[in-house]
Amino acid sequence: MGGASSRDQRAETSNRLEDETVESSNSTFFTNEELTKLQSDYDMGGVEKVKTVVQQKVTELDNTELNIAVTGESGAGKSSFINAMRGLEFDDEGAAEVGNIETTMEPTGYKHPNLPNVCFWDLPGIGTKTFPANKYLKKMKFKRYDFFIIISACRFTENDIQLAKEIKRLGKNFYFVRSKIDNDLYSKRRRGRQFNEEEELKKIRNDCVSKLQEAGMPSPRVFLISNFDLNLYDFSLLNKALEDDLPTIKKSVYILALPNISSETVEKKRKELRKQVWMLATLSGGIGVVPIPGVSLGCDIGIVIGGIVHFRQCLGLDDSSLQSLAKRAGKPVEDLKAVVTTPLVGGEITPDVINRLAWGAAAVTASAIEVFLDTIPVIGSIFGAGSSFFFTYKLLSAALDDLTESAQKVMSAAFGNENDPNQTSVQ
């Protein structure tokens, strides 16, 4: 009976490993052609050649910039949108200045708190005396930006249409965002009128679309949002549109830069970070027997620690992110930290902490290791079961799972069930 139980455990472990590795290997930053080249490079130059190619991809990922332009007329809510996307309140350090008059006199960049290669640009309102429409396009250096968010708090104007047409001419993507939807619905409620919220949202959206079509935009998409509650209305649809339009690496960077507003967002981040695990493990990997974890770490400890710190920041579990989330949720930060059970949050990541994780990563059978290696294209055939690649992969995977679980618990502590985006509008 004990033998059967042991076999069941081995099978369960093997299946879990296979699920994890198939997920990571089928959705990497490498094309099939690049994976084939990895095998060729290994045949010609061995492990060091492969590590060089992977390092180039990791460097590309680290250095990829994402520049997001937020534009529209003054008072449309551009600064509030930028602050919300960076997980900041208007009075936080580094927040964009909010006001009902034009506060932006030139393109002003606001870097993401944890991902400095992501920058939101607050552009001056078009059509003001300072920035007339006929001079606006040239002054704003439009080629700098990856895509444009055109925000309006009421109806999109002739200037907005002219702006969109020029963006399209430059081959860039743009998205019409109708802000302050919460204000519109609040005004309706104050009047004491009974109305169907879904029907009212549909009416606002259709009105924006029809006006844009009359002005010469054939198939405009308009997204309704509230800068003060990104879970509501069309924000998830806006995100999906942006993700679908961005190339692979920039899409990943954008997802990791999103504020933690729902459990769905946290899960998206986990999937993106999972793609990075095997690349980091490859940099750490080498053929040979690994000493028993707990006695000596058989991997590049610097790579492991660096990876965990990066995961922690992307998942919003560093101190500054937790402080900002607690402020946004109106909860003491201690309440959020209290639900975290992993030692990877709230202190320095040391070799001793990694050593403790290594015991769990080593608790796999030989059959599970074979399954693991077989399910990773190219890389699995390069590194042996005793390599530091395997143990680094398991350490980073275990750390990512622990941190994701904690991030989900923190979201629940902050917002309860409100962090599930149940209200999704249909266009």
The pLDDT of residue 149 is 94
The pLDDT of residue 426 is 35
CA distance 236 to 27: 22
Average pLDDT over residues 109-121: 93
Listed in sequence order, the residues at least 6 apart from 364 whose beta carbon sits closer than 8 Å to its beta carbon are: 13, 17, 372, 394
Q: Using an 8 Å Cβ cutoff, are 392 and 280 in contact? A: yes
CB neighbours (10 Å) of residue 365? 15
The pLDDT of residue 121 is 94
Tell me: pLDDT of 120 over 90.
Answer: yes
The pLDDT of residue 46 is 66
Tell me: pLDDT of 111 over 90.
Answer: yes
Mean pLDDT, all residues of the chain:
78
* Domain spans in the chain, listed from the N-terminal domain onward: 2-62+260-419, 65-257
66 - beta bridge partners?
118
Maximum distance among all Cα pairs of the chain, rounded to whole angstroms: 84
Task: Say if residue 268 is exposed, middle or buried (CB neighbours under 10 Å; 0-12, 13-18, 19+).
Answer: middle
pLDDT digits (tens, 9 = 90+) for 315-344: 999 998 999 889 888 899 999 999 998 889
Tell me: pLDDT of 34 over 80.
Answer: no
**pTM of full prediction above 0.75:** yes
Tell me: pLDDT of 413 over 80.
Answer: yes
Listed in sequence order, the residues at least 6 apart from 331 whose beta carbon sits closer than 8 Å to its beta carbon are: 413, 414
The pLDDT of residue 290 is 45
pLDDT digits (tens, 9 = 90+) for 263-299: 899 999 999 999 888 788 878 765 444 444 443 455 6
Tell me: pLDDT of 26 over 70.
Answer: no
pLDDT digits (tens, 9 = 90+) for 52-108: 777 888 888 888 999 999 988 778 889 999 999 998 888 888 888 876 555 557 789
pLDDT digits (tens, 9 = 90+) for 369-393: 555 555 555 555 555 545 677 778 8
How does DSSP assign 289-338, residue by residue? PPPPTTTS--S-HHHHHHHHHHHHHHTT-SHHHHHHHHHHHTS-HHHHHT
Number of H helices, E strands in the chain: 17, 6
Among 4-13, 347-356, 399-408, the least confident range = 4-13
CA distance 151 to 72: 5
Closest CA to 299 of 349, 351, 348, 343: 351
Q: Return the CATH number of the domain spanning residue range 65-257.
A: 3.40.50.300
Q: Using an 8 Å Cβ cutoff, are 181 and 101 in contact? A: no
CA distance 315 to 328: 16
Among 118-127, 143-152, 314-323, the least confident range = 118-127
